Structure 1
Amino acid sequence: MQKGAEAVHAANPDVLVILSGLNFDKDLSFLRQRPINLTFSGKLVFEIHRYSFTDGKSWETGNPNQVCGQVVNDIMSRGGFLLDQGYPLFVSEFGADQRGTNVNDNRYFNCFLGLAAELDFDWALWTLVGSYYLREGVVGLNEVYGVMDWNWCDIRNSSFLKRISTVQSPFQGPGYNESRSHKLIFHPMTGLCVRRISFFQPLELGPCSESDAWDYTPTKTLTLTGTYFCLQADKSGQPAKLGIMCTNSNSKWQAISDSKMHLSSKLQDGTNLCLDVDSKNVVFTNTCKCLSKDKTCDPASQWFKIIDSTRKQNTTKSFFQSKQIAQFLGNTFSYIL
């Protein structure tokens, strides 16, 4: 491996050198005990592959939260740890059956997309092609993992493409210091982020480029950056809301379950609720579902990731927004009095 890296560098000192993992390119854990020693620096990239079938049928036969937690831990122990050492990690192969009927792939992809947004690693999707002249002895084999359809004339699954487009550009890193570091609330199932339309409309999902910037405080409150407004749970089945009384338990949000993607808050009566999203992309709170054991339950609508970003955030201010804030505060204090 080291000889190969030195040979590539000698041939062209201006290119990145990519080193692959072992065992179908999924394992770089040997680097913990045997780090690479090279004559050059600043251009080394490590790569891994990951698919649903890397873990057999676990996604289909197990509880998605528990499997997601196990797979994330495995990825981190086999390669993700290199990010903490300052190396770029390139997931050079991943993908899913784009027909949308493969339960194993669907569950895996929701988990993987959350991890991709959180770690902000580079990736390459398998695959662009829609079909093959000849593969595995089959003429015109249909590639169900392909972005293109069988005829190569159209997109096979436009919603899939929209989801991965969110993580095509880095959320942070060199060249993306467009604003100070802040948080986004990312929803892997849709590839969208939580955003505020106004102070009088429910929070909803929308393009992450149009999301508000959030701060996640040590006391586990999610506040709109530069304001006193925080995310609050109200009642089960009701939209999540913004408020300014941010010391109560219904203003605290904690990542629970093995997947660490359920954002849970506790009401005054002790009821635990989780963020959820409805068919119109309105963000509301509901009973936390599929936390463990049940393999038939799909928690994807309740999976959210609080991720770091230095992308330019939505900071649009207007006279009308100022009036909304004043009216909102007036209504709030009138209610308190």
Structure 2
Amino acid sequence: MESMVPEGLNKQPVDVIASRIAALGFNCVRLTWATFMFTNSTYGQRTVTDSFLGLGLNKTLVEIAAHNPSLLSLTVLDAQKAVVDALGKAGVMVVLDNHVSLPQWCCAENDGNGFFGDIYFDPKVWKRGLRIVAGRYRGNPAVVGVGLRNELRGPHQSQPVWYQNVKRGVRAIHKANPDVLAMVSGMSYGTDLSFLLQKPLHPDNSTSLEKKIVYEAHWYSFTNGKHNDWSNFSPTWVCADLTATFEKMIGAPVAAMNAPLFIGEFGIDFRALNRGDLRFLPCFNKLAAERDLDWAIWALQATYYRRNDIVDMEETFGVLDQTWYQTKDLNFMTKYRLLQDTLQVVVPSTGTTTNNAASQYYIIYHPWTGLCLQASKDQSTVQLSDCKDRSRWSYESEGTPIKLVGTNLCLRSSGGGGGGGGNTPPATLSSNCTDLPSKWSQVPSGFKVQIATTDEAGALQCLDYYANSTNSSSPTPTSASVFTRQCVCLEGKLCYDSNPQSQWFLLISSNIA
């Protein structure tokens, strides 16, 4: 943020980055900006060249000249517009997120950028910045939203002050540009909107502006200091606990406002060194798929021009590697395919039909790998594969068959039992849908993440994938057979010897034709 120039322009041409974003399946970028860029000419009138020379980043400037020479003489404001225009040309929408006031790395508790009234966060200057940015991009079809402020936080947080300034911010954006949405986040780093249940947000005396508000939330493995829980306790228990907290603090308040919800940030360290992150991600995937959420991942960038005084510092949470073209995770698109798809369309209550809608069906989703259950070509067995090839399933209630839509076939337990192994027979598809191996329930009862049958001895056998799941921290998402094995970690907070997430299979409702 120090340079006030979007990252990566020293690595690839801006058009290449924009096209790559679209090719990775993304349709929107949350592009950050600092208030002082637009309210203080000392910042905003700097050219790209002046900005980097002023930071002593001469080598970086040479690299930008090699990849994006046309940007060098532009002001930092016009360079931002060039990036926005490139994204729009690639078919990518833009949400302009007011990240900080003073151009710097975010977000320390006491960095002066955290809450209204902090040293760098004058509400009047902030509102003027929103008005300038919204007006500057009026008529630009690529810009669909303006974020009021990233991760409000710190010791000065106050609900009355939040209401007062958020109302003013929404009105300022709408007056300057009635075509864009206003992205509103709560307090405590974008994790708390619970106060809306007691006092709904009404930006003006009508309801018209309320329809322009999208509420934003952030969620990481470390949110609310819970990072160690993922390593110390059963991930099923932790996910249930934190999902309940999310619904209390975010989901229920936004639903009460009858407004859309946008997960403006989530992410993991792509080095896969952290068990907490690896266990958190399937939990997030579950929530995102079940609620068909819109989301933005932190972050795209592989590197920073300079961060913490380190030139070309790596962003370990970045999707791209240091080429700014290839993904760190070579299976990224496969893992995130389902979450990028629209899973539900609204069917008009008048009974009219839409070409995008079908009768409700289920997708069986494996959030640990990001894969979906698919019938084999001969419809004899099932496997996990890329969700672009997902099968459609029907399921009526607990203890009933899971049927392949359009056939008389149902999912049938392999009867593997025990802990499984390389010779465990795969689950099959069968026309025999009346006996125990063909009757399925979702378990545990309070947080349904495993799909199980009951064997002849009365033991629960769960769908599973990955032969040695108890010793694996991260699966490789490739096409793989699905088995039934003894269910693990169905009860309690402690589950030291097994990770049940290989057994997480979710019935995700969809009506997309």
Q: Sort the TM-score into its range (normalised by shorter chain).
A: 0.7 to 0.9
Supply the distance in 1 between the matched residues of 2:454 and 2:181 (Cα, whole angstroms): 49
Task: Indicate whether 1:25 and 2:190 are aligned.
Answer: yes
Supply the distance in 2 between the matched residues of 1:93 and 1:176 (Cα, whole angstroms): 32
Change in CA separation of 1:176 and 1:152 when aligned onto 2, cut-off 3 Å: farther
**1:26 aligned counterpart, secondary structure:** coil
**2:168 aligned counterpart, secondary structure:** helix
Alpha-carbon shift at residue 140 of structure 1 (Å): 2.1
Contact 2:182 2:213 in 1 (8 A): yes
Change in CA separation of 1:42 and 1:181 when aligned onto 2, cut-off 3 Å: farther
Which of 195, 217, 221 lines up with 2:396 in the alignment?
Answer: 217
Task: Indicate whether 1:99 and 2:279 are aligned.
Answer: no
Alpha-carbon shift at residue 153 of structure 1 (Å): 4.5
Change in CA separation of 1:192 and 1:17 when aligned onto 2, cut-off 3 Å: same
Alpha-carbon shift at residue 109 of structure 1 (Å): 0.4
Aligned residues: 312
Supply the distance in 2 between the matched residues of 1:259 and 1:7 (Cα, whole angstroms): 43
Contact 2:343 2:511 in 1 (8 A): yes
Q: Which amino acid aligns with 2:187?
A: L
TM-score by length of 1: 0.86
Which of 274, 280, 286 lines up with 2:462 in the alignment?
Answer: 274
Contact 1:277 1:302 in 2 (8 A): yes
- Poorly superposed stretches of 4+, deviation over 3 Å: 83-86, 198-201
Matches within 5 A, 1:78-157: 78-81=249-252, 82-83=254-255, 86-157=258-329
* Percent of paired sites with the same residue: 35
Alpha-carbon shift at residue 218 of structure 1 (Å): 2.6
Supply the distance in 1 between the matched residues of 2:414 and 2:323 (Cα, whole angstroms): 50
Supply the distance in 1 between the matched residues of 2:325 and 2:177 (Cα, whole angstroms): 38
Task: Indicate whether 1:253 and 2:440 are aligned.
Answer: yes
Change in CA separation of 1:124 and 1:231 when aligned onto 2, cut-off 3 Å: same
Supply the distance in 2 between the matched residues of 1:135 and 1:176 (Cα, whole angstroms): 48
Supply the distance in 2 between the matched residues of 1:79 and 1:65 (Cα, whole angstroms): 20
RMSD, aligned α-carbons: 2.1
Q: Deviations over 1:218-270 (max 9, x none)?
A: 35431122333222223123322223333433323222136521111112331
Q: Which runs of 5+ in 1 are unaligned?
A: 313-337
Contact 2:380 2:430 in 1 (8 A): no
Q: Which has the larger radius of gyration?
A: 2
- Quote the residue 1:227 is aligned against: 407
Supply the distance in 2 between the matched residues of 1:116 and 1:146 (Cα, whole angstroms): 20
Deviates more, 1:95-104 or 1:41-50: 41-50
**2:247 aligned counterpart, secondary structure:** helix
Deviates more, 1:98-107 or 1:178-187: 178-187
Q: Which runs of 5+ in 2 are unaligned?
A: 1-165, 347-353, 417-423, 468-478
Supply the distance in 1 between the matched residues of 2:375 and 2:358 (Cα, whole angstroms): 19
- Quote the residue 1:320 is aligned against: none
Supply the distance in 2 between the matched residues of 1:153 and 1:294 (Cα, whole angstroms): 40
Alpha-carbon shift at residue 89 of structure 1 (Å): 0.9
Contact 1:187 1:303 in 2 (8 A): yes
- Quote the residue 1:196 is aligned against: 375
Q: Deviations over 1:98-139 (max 9, x none)?
A: 111211100000111121111111000000111112112222
Supply the distance in 2 between the matched residues of 1:66 and 1:273 (Cα, whole angstroms): 19
Change in CA separation of 1:288 and 1:122 when aligned onto 2, cut-off 3 Å: same
Deviates more, 1:193-202 or 1:91-100: 193-202
**1:173 aligned counterpart, secondary structure:** coil
- Quote the residue 1:304 is aligned against: 505
Supply the distance in 1 between the matched residues of 2:256 and 2:414 (Cα, whole angstroms): 38
Supply the distance in 1 between the matched residues of 2:382 and 2:510 (Cα, whole angstroms): 20
